[in-house]
Amino acid sequence: MIDQAGGCIFDLDGTLYDSSGFALHLIAEQPFEAFLLLAERKTRKSLAGSDYGQAESYYREFFSRLSQAAGKPEQLLRKWYFESYMPRMCRVLNKYYRPRSHLNELFGHLLKNDFKFSVYSDYPFVMQRLHALGLPVEGYRFYSPEDFGAQKPALRPFLSIADAMHVVPGETLVVGDRDDTDGAGAAAAGMGFFRIKTDGDWGSFCSYIHSKLEKL
């Protein structure tokens, strides 16, 4: 953890809420698409750390690989991804999940004290998924690697987000649940990393942030 943290980049899934069982809930919503969901996860994993420079370049590669893995046309898969899969994620979030304890209050305190933070989620529809969890979406920015044409832990998006917050990388703290994506990206960018795996980890992080806010 960075004692002089001037801003935070929060991961969403598994960090701002406990995502246990999420894949099973997604499959239960549409059981006949279980193979397609597994193909999507496999394709995403194969692109880990990639950076194609812009969203459309990334999506051309992503849907090309997904088409090969799933045996379905690319255009059909684009439609499925944006019009079925992402909305399904939102429904599952709204139906089964709630934010970490006191997260709404924490965001409120951060905004009130002008402490800079962003949410950087692995998947798109970030605003819609934050809404589904009942979290505020005003006063801070939110991103997906796909906005940048990349996939975690690619370096450029981490640096771009810190730059947009006007916080230098060495004073930026990444808060996430995975060492291989959030942690690796933070390390490459010269940022600190705090891993959230349990409610106890979350409590420790909140205590740290509140102590910082008291000094502002």
Q: What is the pLDDT along the chain (216 residues), one digit of tens a residue?
A: 666 778 999 999 999 999 999 999 999 999 999 999 999 999 999 999 999 999 999 999 999 999 999 999 999 999 999 999 999 999 999 999 999 999 999 999 999 989 999 999 999 999 999 999 999 999 999 999 999 999 999 999 999 999 999 999 999 999 999 999 999 999 999 999 999 999 999 999 999 888 877 766
What beta strand segments (E) does the chain contain?
7-10, 116-120, 141-143, 172-176, 192-195
pTM over 0.85: yes
Residue partners of 188: CB distance under 8 A and separation at least 6: 153, 155, 158
In order of their start, the domains of the chain are 7-19+99-215 (3.40.50.1000), 22-96 (no CATH)
| Separation of alpha carbons 121 and 123, rounded Å | 5
- Report pLDDT for 216: 61
List the structure tokens of 61. Answer: 């590669």
- Report pLDDT for 48: 98
- Report pLDDT for 81: 98
- Report pLDDT for 170: 95
Q: Which residues pair with 142 in a beta bridge?
A: 119
Residue partners of 112: CB distance under 8 A and separation at least 6: none
- Report pLDDT for 1: 63
Q: What are phi and psi of 112, to 5 degrees?
A: -60, -35
CB 17 within 8 A of CB 176: no
| Separation of alpha carbons 21 and 41, rounded Å | 15
